Structure 1
Amino acid sequence: MRSGDIPFKFDLTDLLARARRQVAGRIGDVTLNLPFISIAVSPKDRERRVAREIVLRLRDRRVLSAWECCDDCIERALTSLKEIRQLIVDKEVELAELQDGPLFLLLDAMATGIRQFMTYEELLRRDKDAPPHPRFGEFHRPPDVRQAYFDGLEILRGHLSRCLGQIALIAGMPVPTEGIIENYQGPWQLEAYEAPPLLPPPPE
């Protein structure tokens, strides 16, 4: 269920500054679009291979396209997000010697989005042993809290879809690069991000 509200904003300030530092003085053959900036990169063969695997593993995950309707849906979505976060960690470990590369950066962007959503989710969480809500039967969360989950998951899906689109660019895959998940494509939803302070120019 979509209301169009933006209940929290992603803060990628440190990640964007890091992106500018990493590409300083480099000439790249792939242009990645991130919120507020674009960078040119030259992925290594290993990054291309791992990027392809990530897209293939994640593009059909139901949590990235499903619409929740109840508490059980929310719980399944949270469980699936934790599984995606573990996959991201595993791939970052695999790329440990390429931490200054573009794929690691995009994985960090995905992990940051999930982490910040989970922080937001902590503010909404009720005791798991709480009895069913007296007014809403099987639903344990009141409607306003449930809608806050739906809205938070919506902007997270858009973030993850667009990150995966950029990862697909690294992989050289013929998929929509402005988001690989249907209904979550198009330019970055900038209103869902904290505008970073004026980024310093890359060092010469």
Structure 2
Amino acid sequence: MRTGNIPFRFDMSDLLSRAKQRFGKHVGEVTLNLPFVSFAVSPKSKERKVAQELVIRLADRRVLSAWECCDNCIDDALNSLREIRGILVDKQVELADLRDGPLYLLVEAMTLGIRQFLTFEELLNSGNEAPPHPRFGDFHRPSDVRQAYFDGLEVLRGHISRCLGQVAAIGGIDAPKDGLIVNYQGDWQIAAYQAPALTAEK
């Protein structure tokens, strides 16, 4: 069951600040939208190619759209997220000569989101004061921990989907820019992000 709660917030302050500094005054052929900031870029041919590959490899990953129901599903999803993070890191290596480019920034946004979600998930299971919870069938996490995980994963899916929409734009792919994954499209879920200083000071 999904409650729509936001159990944690992404901290992208440094990344968003760098995006504004690098691209804030650029005039480009592709407009990208991130939480709190939009900018125009002119992708290199290599960035277009890598962006297309990323969309192909990630668009149909089950973990980005599946409906978990038990702890075994959660464990499988966590493993899949780690695999996706591995793919993204490989692409960062491939883009090492374009570290200041827009695609590297978007890939970094996705890896950062996954890392912060995994940290959140670890914290959910680190409470030493929690009473022992006996395993029953496929359920070995307390129900409140399981629910917080489900809600957190929904937030992460929305984040990755909208990032992939921007990646698709760089790749020149005809796909919704507001989210590549069905059911995770629309405006950025601003409440799921810590406001960077450049916004908070206004």
Band the TM-score falls in, shorter-chain normalisation:
over 0.9
What is the match of residue 33 of structure 2?
33
What is the match of residue 195 of structure 1?
195
Counterpart CA distance in 2 for 1:72 and 1:65 is: 16
User: So what's the TM-score if we normalise by structure 2?
Assistant: 0.93
1:78 aligns with 2:78: yes
Q: Which amino acid aligns with 2:124?
A: L
- Note the alpha carbon deviations across 1:66-124, whole angstroms, 9 max, x for none: 11110000001000000000000000000000000000000000011001101101111
Counterpart CA distance in 2 for 1:26 and 1:37 is: 13
Deviates more, 1:28-37 or 1:16-25: 16-25
1:46 positional shift: 0.5
What is the match of residue 18 of structure 2?
18
| Aligned 1:41-56 pairs, distance under 5 A | 41-56=41-56
The answer (yes or no) to whether the contact 1:136–1:142 under 8 Å persists in 2 is no
User: So what's the TM-score if we normalise by structure 1?
Assistant: 0.92
Query: Size of the alignment, in residue pairs?
Result: 196
* 3-state SS in 2 of match to 1:198: helix
Unaligned runs of 5+ in 2: none
The answer (yes or no) to whether the contact 2:29–2:40 under 8 Å persists in 1 is yes
| Identical counterparts, % of pairs | 67
1:134 positional shift: 3.0
1:26 positional shift: 2.6
CA RMSD of aligned residues (A): 1.8
* 3-state SS in 1 of match to 2:52: helix
- Note the alpha carbon deviations across 1:122-176, whole angstroms, 9 max, x for none: 111269xxxx943744311011111011011000000000000000000010111
What is the match of residue 63 of structure 2?
63
Q: Which amino acid aligns with 2:8?
A: F
* 3-state SS in 1 of match to 2:40: strand
Q: Which amino acid aligns with 2:52?
A: R
Q: Which amino acid aligns with 1:152?
A: G
Counterpart CA distance in 2 for 1:150 and 1:98 is: 35
1:6 aligns with 2:28: no
Q: Which amino acid aligns with 2:17?
A: A
